[in-house]
Amino acid sequence: MYSQRPLPYAPTPYSYTPNPARSATINLDEEVKLASSSVERDLYESLAEIYSIIVTLDGLEKAYIKDVVTEAEYTETCTRLLKQYKSSLGDEAVSREFVNLETFKRTWGLECPRATERLRIGLPATVEQASHGGASSSMGATATGPAGGASGSLILAATENFITFLDALKLNMVSKDALHPLLSEVIQSVNKVTDTDFEDRGKIIQWLIALNQMRATEELSEDQARELAFDIEQAYQGFKATLN
């Protein structure tokens, strides 16, 4: 019988000779550095923070649905997480590496459907939907007024926020950076006055979502700005009708 000879290209258990020089360069006790510079390290840390925010926000949404947290706790925490998310993406290098939410989730194996929806809307659920009993909970015992007991100061604040927003549009402030914070102030101040789903309140939410999905420096067209002004003016009239 002929003995089987190993093929010339097939490695055998004895064909590998360690390279002493190569082995000497590997130190198992040495810390592996994920970043080669401080800039790269900061980038990875920011992306890790965004990952953490998304996971935490998803857990918060589940807790809110199950009544594990109060509306006040939910609103405060959700608002803070949304601000941290936007702040993290304000860095150009981070935003470029992030690409968009769906790409980031796919890259890092995330699902988090509730957090995804909340980030798309850009508002806590308690702000998106009129919070029942929310108006009365934010007022003192002596605060009285026409809209479900709302105080005059809360009504005045909401009115001023409407006017400030409409004035901003008249001054041609049409970027997301300029309009989104102002419109957020409008809906939050309105919710402190009334939990009534008044006429055209939904238009405020729709525009907030639309603005939230724009890039930070992106601007509304002339037609969009005109339509926005009309819708918010109508919502303002609907809000005033609840005060009678």
Q: What is the largest CA-CA distance in the chain?
A: 108
- C-alpha 130/C-alpha 143 separation (Å) is 20
**Which of residues 80 and 15 earns the better pLDDT score?**
80
For 151, what's the count of Cα atoms within 13 Å in the CB-facing half-sphere? 12
Which position has the token pair 């401080």?
38
pLDDT of residue 21: 53
**74-93 confidence digits (pLDDT tens):** 999 999 999 999 989 888 89
The whole-model pTM stands at: 0.71
Residue 227: both structure tokens together: 């339509």
Which position has the token pair 């360069």?
25
- C-alpha 54/C-alpha 58 separation (Å) is 6
**21-76 confidence digits (pLDDT tens):** 544 565 666 665 565 677 888 999 999 999 999 999 999 999 999 999 999 999 99
- C-alpha 244/C-alpha 231 separation (Å) is 21
Q: How confident is the model at residue 197 (pLDDT cuts 50, 70, 90)?
A: confident
Q: Please report the domains of the chain, with CATH numbers, ordered by start residue.
A: 38-127 (1.20.1440.200), 135-241 (1.20.120.1130)
**214-233 confidence digits (pLDDT tens):** 887 899 999 999 999 999 99
- C-alpha 90/C-alpha 41 separation (Å) is 17
DSSP tag of 139: S
Q: What is the mean pLDDT of the chain?
A: 83
Burial of 140 (0-12, 13-18, 19+ CB in 10 A): exposed
- C-alpha 167/C-alpha 213 separation (Å) is 23
